[in-house]
């Protein structure tokens, strides 16, 4: 097999080239090739060494597909030590994204040159890891402790220019990187430039309280995550220990991270996110429709947020409202959001103005004649939506994609209101739409393949993570949420309090407890939906009597200053309200429930296994393409902790036999209406299999 690493001498410079598409990851073959090349360079006629990559990027990190397998020599830290020990100057030429082990390779080189469009970073924390090939020891020697902690703890890549400012890159160039790097290396040789080994640099001392303040901050910001705390330990070791001892500590903590279930979960999500973007059965290179101009129907919170998502990606938007007043209200929300971004320093005033200028308003559907895509984002009334789609059918040009942002309604029914159901699709954004990463792309029965492929690709363009769902009530995310919320309400009336339910789920890792989420969403939403139904269709009264009683008292949630909690009018800070406990106790008595203490373990299992059980049904019915898609939905759309990998990954980690036993126990205790195990769960347990191995029918 030919090596992905080649070596040749060009004008006295030993040029090592790596060619390992798609991202030049440091596979065993790349490490072996690099080792052989750097060794050759020690004894041949070259006067210096240049490491460069072919293709779209410098090395983007260790090869994540090798993680979890037995480690194979040469090990990266040893290889990098050998590069750093080279008797001839080593220069790394960076383009694209020099990340993780790739950037560590550059840090072990003696000089770094980068093209101005390049980015560098240490994103290991996003995989539940820490830089394990000297990154935590070399970066502080070049950039100082604080800049190191900020870079490694955020995991976010920085521009080549910024890297040069903080001492991580020596020279930034425009134009042809290879030519520039070659002449830079020659210049270093001519100047007799020293072998600048990063390990030999000293670090400015810092007050040890700095590390404690980072640790405390991480207790909140990266709650329950182990890798960020270990990163602080490593950087502290860089300050307090010798390079060799610090490196040993880094190695030990890296291994601990690798064996931690958090990293396994986050690596799963890395691949799941990329898989989710692919549609089974659709060729990757299918022709897509051009989207240069977008229309949005409805200037409410959702419509405005969606408009901003497109404008932020440079795509012009026409926002349609029913009249001038509603339009002005909608646009003013957009203005307020952009002003907020400027105030928080996220955007410059000019950037905000430029983006805002891409959003126009109108009250006439005729303004949509030339748009390539329209997204309807009005409230959840299927008749209204059908009427709008009938009008869009007439107003929009042939080939325009007609999308609905519905959260629950039947996209097939909406598509049938047009003469072109093949152009109709669901694009379900999450609130706030300009911030939340998830986009559920709903494929209706007649949606054309190129419409689907266009929307999946468009999601990436507007920096969203797309997941395809088939049509069902609530699609993937909201359908699963019903059982989760039902169990939260049942635990509440059976003996819990808003505080005990929220604390159980928050401490488990959810971004927010379910009772607080209900207050945020507004209790009136469910109330109105139930009021429209005959009593016998409203479900189990134990799951809704408390919130309905609160609505009847005028407690609609955060927006009215009170719901399950009381909210401070200015700060919106929540506090417990004894009046709510009285309501819970009163409703429990009225329904004949004898309240009992409910432990956190029971709350967690009832809520999470309700999610898992419904997720399995969704898989079995083919609503979701793969288990990982469901995990991506929950982590990016519903505040499920990434370090638990999503509900389906979590169920596998707990063990399906345990999950089934618990669900059967709940069936015994609470009845089969809510607790019938999904047939797929029973099947997988009988086969001694796991969700991860399930492939769709
Ligand atoms: C590390 O380095 C540890 C060390 O400190 C210590 C070691 C001892 N490995 O994202 P894309 C695949 S930890 C294997 O769609 P983009 C990816 O799965 C690592 N495969 O492209 C996809 O495959 P497919 C630290 C990888 O242009 C294809 O490449 N590094 C790797 O949107 C294209 O990916 C990171 O965490 C990898 N490292 O973004 C960087 N990376 O086509 C992780 C990508 O079959 N990578 N693939 O679906 C990224 O952030 C983005 O992929 C990157 C390109 C920005 C590079």
63 lines ligand 1 (CB under 6 A): yes
Whose CA is closest to atom 33 on ligand 1?
A: 22
Residues with Cβ within 8 Å of 377's Cβ and at least 6 positions away in sequence, in order, are 296, 297, 298, 300, 302, 303, 306, 405, 429
Residue 524 and residue 549 in contact, taking contact as beta carbons nearer than 8 Å: no
- Distances from the Cα of 247 to the Cα of 82, 84, 124, 199, 374, angstroms: 14, 14, 16, 10, 55
Atom of ligand 1 nearest to the CA of 277: 48
Residue 576 and residue 499 in contact, taking contact as beta carbons nearer than 8 Å: yes
Q: H-type helices in 158-260, by residue range?
A: 160-165, 177-190, 209-221, 226-240, 243-258
> At the topology level of CATH, where does 294-473 sit?
Rossmann fold (3.40.50)
Kindly give the pairing relationship between strand 438-443 and strand 424-429. antiparallel
CA distance 526 to 560: 15
| Predicted local confidence at residue 624, as pLDDT | 97
Paired strand residues for 532: none
Query: Helix 261-276 to helix 243-258 angle, to the nearest 10 degrees?
Result: 70
pLDDT digits (tens, 9 = 90+) for 335-375: 999 999 999 999 999 999 999 999 999 999 999 999 999 99
| Tokens 């440079």 belong to residue | 314
- Distances from the Cα of 446 to the Cα of 401, 414, 623, angstroms: 13, 11, 15
- Distances from the Cα of 233 to the Cα of 125, 222, 437, angstroms: 14, 15, 31
Residue 603 and residue 505 in contact, taking contact as beta carbons nearer than 8 Å: yes
CA distance 128 to 264: 8
331 lines ligand 1 (CB under 6 A): no
What DSSP string describes 485-546? HHHHHHHHHHT--HHHHHHHHHHHT-SS-HHHHHHHH-HHHHHHHHHTS-GGGS--GGGTHH
Whose CA is closest to atom 10 on ligand 1?
A: 274
From the number of C-beta atoms within 10 Å of its C-beta (0-12, 13-18, 19+), residue 405 rates as buried
| Closest by CA position to 583, among listed 484, 670, 487, 498 | 498
Residue 690 and residue 684 in contact, taking contact as beta carbons nearer than 8 Å: yes
- Distances from the Cα of 521 to the Cα of 223, 279, 514, 524, angstroms: 24, 32, 10, 9
101 lines ligand 1 (CB under 6 A): yes
CA distance 384 to 378: 8
What's the 155 CA to ligand 1 centre distance in angstroms? 13
Considering the segment(s) 478-590 as one domain, its CATH architecture is Orthogonal Bundle (1.10)
For 600-693, give the CATH class: mainly alpha
- Distances from the Cα of 326 to the Cα of 109, 295, 300, 331, angstroms: 60, 16, 9, 9
3 state SS of 360: strand
| Closest by CA position to 376, among listed 360, 392, 394 | 392
CA distance 474 to 55: 42
SS3 content of the chain, % helix, strand, coil (to 5): 55, 10, 35
| Closest by CA position to 657, among listed 638, 683, 635, 637 | 683
Whose CA is closest to atom 55 on ligand 1?
A: 97
Residue 289 and residue 666 in contact, taking contact as beta carbons nearer than 8 Å: no
| Predicted local confidence at residue 696, as pLDDT | 72
Residue 404 and residue 427 in contact, taking contact as beta carbons nearer than 8 Å: yes
| Closest by CA position to 462, among listed 291, 214, 657, 671 | 291
- Distances from the Cα of 231 to the Cα of 147, 264, 542, angstroms: 13, 17, 47
CA distance 262 to 641: 10
Q: H-type helices in 568-678, by residue range?
A: 578-590, 600-620, 627-637, 647-654, 656-670
Residue 630 and residue 618 in contact, taking contact as beta carbons nearer than 8 Å: yes
65 lines ligand 1 (CB under 6 A): yes
DSSP state of 677: P
Catalytic residue selected from 84, 104, 321, 587: 104
CA distance 439 to 383: 24
Respond yes or no on whether the N-terminal peptide bond of residue 74 is cis (omega within 30° of 0).
yes
274 lines ligand 1 (CB under 6 A): yes
What's the 392 CA to ligand 1 centre distance in angstroms? 41
Kindly give the pairing relationship between strand 438-443 and strand 5-10. unpaired
| Tokens 């109330």 belong to residue | 527
Whose CA is closest to atom 44 on ligand 1?
A: 23
Residue 132 and residue 249 in contact, taking contact as beta carbons nearer than 8 Å: no
Q: In the Cβ-directed half-sphere of 573, how many Cα atoms lie within 13 Å?
A: 3
Catalytic residue selected from 124, 321, 440, 614: 124
CA distance 446 to 314: 30
Question: Which 3-state string (H, E, C) describes 557-573?
Answer: EHHHCECCCEECCCCCC
| Tokens 């040993």 belong to residue | 248
CA distance 169 to 148: 14
Give me the residue spans of the domains in the chain.
5-258, 294-473, 478-590, 600-693
Q: H-type helices in 313-381, by residue range?
A: 324-343, 349-356
CA distance 558 to 85: 61
3 state SS of 438: strand
250 lines ligand 1 (CB under 6 A): no
276 lines ligand 1 (CB under 6 A): no
Residue 144 and residue 121 in contact, taking contact as beta carbons nearer than 8 Å: no
CA distance 484 to 487: 5
DSSP state of 280: T
CATH 3.90.226.10: does it fit domain 5-258?
yes
How many helices (DSSP H) and strands (DSSP E) are in the chain? 28, 19
How many Cβ atoms sit within 10 Å of the Cβ of residue 241?
14
Q: In the Cβ-directed half-sphere of 291, how many Cα atoms lie within 13 Å?
A: 29
| Predicted local confidence at residue 530, as pLDDT | 87
Residues 204, 236, 224, 657: what is their CA dihedral angle, to the nearest 10 degrees?
140
| Tokens 């009992």 belong to residue | 596
Which tokens sit at 514? 């379910």
Spell out, as residue ranges, where the chain has pLDDT lower than 70.
697
Is 124 a catalytic site residue? Answer: yes
Which tokens sit at 296? 């949005």
What's the 61 CA to ligand 1 centre distance in angstroms? 7
132 lines ligand 1 (CB under 6 A): yes
3 state SS of 375: strand
Atom of ligand 1 nearest to the CA of 75: 8
């Amino acid at each position: 097999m030919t090596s992905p690493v080649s070596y040749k001498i060009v004008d006295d410079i030993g040029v090592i080239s790596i060619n390992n598409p798609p991202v030049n990851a440091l596979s065993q073959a790349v490490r072996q090739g690099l080792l052989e090349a750097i060794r050759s360079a020690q004894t041949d006629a070259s006067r210096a060494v240049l490491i460069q990559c072919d293709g779209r990027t410098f090395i983007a990190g260790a090869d994540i597909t090798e993680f979890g397998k037995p480690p194979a020599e040469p090990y990266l830290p040893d290889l990098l030590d050998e590069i750093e020990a080279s008797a001839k100057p080593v220069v790394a030429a960076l383009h694209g994204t020099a990340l993780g082990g790739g950037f560590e390779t550059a840090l072990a080189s003696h000089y770094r040159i980068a093209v101005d469009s390049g980015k560098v970073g240490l994103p290991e924390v996003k995989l539940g890891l820490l830089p394990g090939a000297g990154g935590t020891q070399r970066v502080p020697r070049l950039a100082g402790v604080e800049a190191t902690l900020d870079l490694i703890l955020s995991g976010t890549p920085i521009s080549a220019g910024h890297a040069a400012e903080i001492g991580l890159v020596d020279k930034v160039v425009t134009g042809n990187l290879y030519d520039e790097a070659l002449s830079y290396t020659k210049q270093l040789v001519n100047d007799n430039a020293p072998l600048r080994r990063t390990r030999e640099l000293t670090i400015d001392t810092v007050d040890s309280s700095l590390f404690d303040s980072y640790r405390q901050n991480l207790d909140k910001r990266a709650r329950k995550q182990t890798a960020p705390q270990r990163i602080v330990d490593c950087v502290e070791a860089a300050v307090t220990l010798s390079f060799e001892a610090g490196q040993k500590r880094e190695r030990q903590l890296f291994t601990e991270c690798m064996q931690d279930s958090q990293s396994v979960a986050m690596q799963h999500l890395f691949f799941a996110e990329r898989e989710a973007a692919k549609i089974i059965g659709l060729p990757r290179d299918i022709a897509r429709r051009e989207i240069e101009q977008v229309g949005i129907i409805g200037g409410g919170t959702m419509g405005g947020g969606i408009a901003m998502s497109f404008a932020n990606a440079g795509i012009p938007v026409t926002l349609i409202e029913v009249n001038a007043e509603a339009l002005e209200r909608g646009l003013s929300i957009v203005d307020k959001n952009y002003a907020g971004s400027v105030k928080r320093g996220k955007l410059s005033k000019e950037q905000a103005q430029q983006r805002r200028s891409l959003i126009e308003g109108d009250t006439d559907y005729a303004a949509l004649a030339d748009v390539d895509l329209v997204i309807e984002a009005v409230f959840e009334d299927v008749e209204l939506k059908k009427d709008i789609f009938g009008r869009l059918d007439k107003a929009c040009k042939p080939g325009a994609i007609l999308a609905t942002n519905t959260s629950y309604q039947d996209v097939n029914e909406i598509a049938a209101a047009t003469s072109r159901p093949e152009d109709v699709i669901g694009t379900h954004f999450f609130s706030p739409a300009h911030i939340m990463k998830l986009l559920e792309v709903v494929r209706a029965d007649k949606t054309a393949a190129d419409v689907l492929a266009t929307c999946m690709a468009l999601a990436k363009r507007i920096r969203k993570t797309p997941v395809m769902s088939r049509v069902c009530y609530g699609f993937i995310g909201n359908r699963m949420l019903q059982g989760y919320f039902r169990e939260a309400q049942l635990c509440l009336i059976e003996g819990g309090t808003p505080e005990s339910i929220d604390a159980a789920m928050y401490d488990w890792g959810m971004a927010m407890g379910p009772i607080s989420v209900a207050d945020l969403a507004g209790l009136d939403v469910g109330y109105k939906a139930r009021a429209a139904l005959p009593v016998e269709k409203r479900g189990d009264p134990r799951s809704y009597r408390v919130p309905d009683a609160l609505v009847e008292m005028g407690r609609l949630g955060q927006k009215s200053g009170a719901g399950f909690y009381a909210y401070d009018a200015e700060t919106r800070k929540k506090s417990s309200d004894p009046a709510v406990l009285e309501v819970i106790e009163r409703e429990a008595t009225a329904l004949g429930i004898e309240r009992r203490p409910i432990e956190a373990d029971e709350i967690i299992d009832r809520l999470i296994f309700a999610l898992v059980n419904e997720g399995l049904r969704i898989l079995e019915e083919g609503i979701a393409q793969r288990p990982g898609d469901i995990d991506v939905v929950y982590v990016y759309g519903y505040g499920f902790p990434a370090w638990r990998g999503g509900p389906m990954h979590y169920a596998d980690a707990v063990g399906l036999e345990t999950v089934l036993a618990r669900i059967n126990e709940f069936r015994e205790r609470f009845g089969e209406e809510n607790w019938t195990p999904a047939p797929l769960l029973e099947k997988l347990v009988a086969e001694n299999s796991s969700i991860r191995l399930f492939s769709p029918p």
